[in-house]
Structure 1
Amino acid sequence: MPSIRAPSSKQITTLSVVVKCRPLTGKERQRSRDIVRVIDDKEVIILDPDLSKDYLERVQNRTKEKKYHFDYAFGPDSTNFDVYKTSISSKIAGVIQGLNATVFAYGSTGSGKTYTMVGTQHDPGLMVLSLHTIFDLIKLDDSSDDFEVTCSYLEVYNEVIYDLLEKSSGHLELREDPEQGTIVAGIRSIKVHSQTSSMIMFGIIGVSMPLSE
């Protein structure tokens, strides 16, 4: 279960960049070579993919190796909960304190964006875990504050915004609102009262929190 404490000022950052390396596909495993290494949970090394070179040649000439540094880096054995607990749960807790938070997945087709955000029955995604935390925090809140949770569901594809809750609406546009800032004009917003009702709305009711969490 993620920590439900609000983040301290030292934990609050403007932007965090996190990478999660997906597992090898069956075809990639047949090649018997993994070219990605995660070092110290923050650095990713991409090895020389040239399989024609023998091991000694690759070690002696590493000019094609690339190193990338991130706020957090997760290997292919990491779960969505690992990503959530380490890099996101404190930001979601901050939402209950009135802070804004945005989490999105970016990557090429087949890189695991949907898996990371939605997940499966045994490995719930970031959306499911976030909803779980939000409603748990509301239940535990002992202040006089009233909370209203509303959800929208959109997709950005080829730089076009689509409302997934109102598919007949066509593509939507970004607008500047004097009070809210940048908004998606015309997007449908629905009040929800529980994690379950939110997941039904999103069409991901088959995904649930594991009992062990």
Structure 2
Amino acid sequence: MADADGCSDIRPEKNGITLVFFGRIEPELEDALANSLEELVGSLRESLPVRPGISRRYMAVPENIPPHNQERVFLSSLEPVGGNLVLGVTNTGFYDPYLGRHLFSYGRVGGSGVLSTYRFRKETDTRRQFLDRMGKQMVKTLALACTLDSCPDTGCIVSYHRWARDLDKNRYVCPSCRNGLLWSLAFFMESTAGNTPVVPGRNGEWL
């Protein structure tokens, strides 16, 4: 059953990360994305004042999606969703007319981000590889929502990715990005759920 803002299956967290799945996302992928965040948070738990819980919500795909810059519609749809950090997932592609290609994910100052499966489905051959790449990109999307920039360390998950295959060489979150995530997660977890403050940074990050 959906509530007034079109969300369903709500499992709220007072201090946490809310995953919002737009439209039909297969349960296996849902679990892989949630697990990637759980693994990251688990690795940081001893240094966080509050360990964020991860909850899931479900929304219909927004209507009147434009032919480009689709991420803006999805990010706007996340605004009323409760949670210290809110991350959306959709099968819709994010086409950037300036770059002339679809991008993987976006983050917005204030603690929200959105991830597209579109290019991963087109550029990945096996299911195992697809889930692995998506899990890493979920971590990158969280980093963007936490106002981190792309990392110069090519082995770091927070680095820049031109192709889906670039994620295959990412094996870790580097010490610098780990510290940035710790600071940002602590900041966001101390904020009131649903009223995440704006922090210094860019108005949007793309990957």
Larger Rg: 1
Name whichever structure is richer in helix by fraction.
2
TM-score band (shorter)? Answer: under 0.3
TM-score by length of 1: 0.26
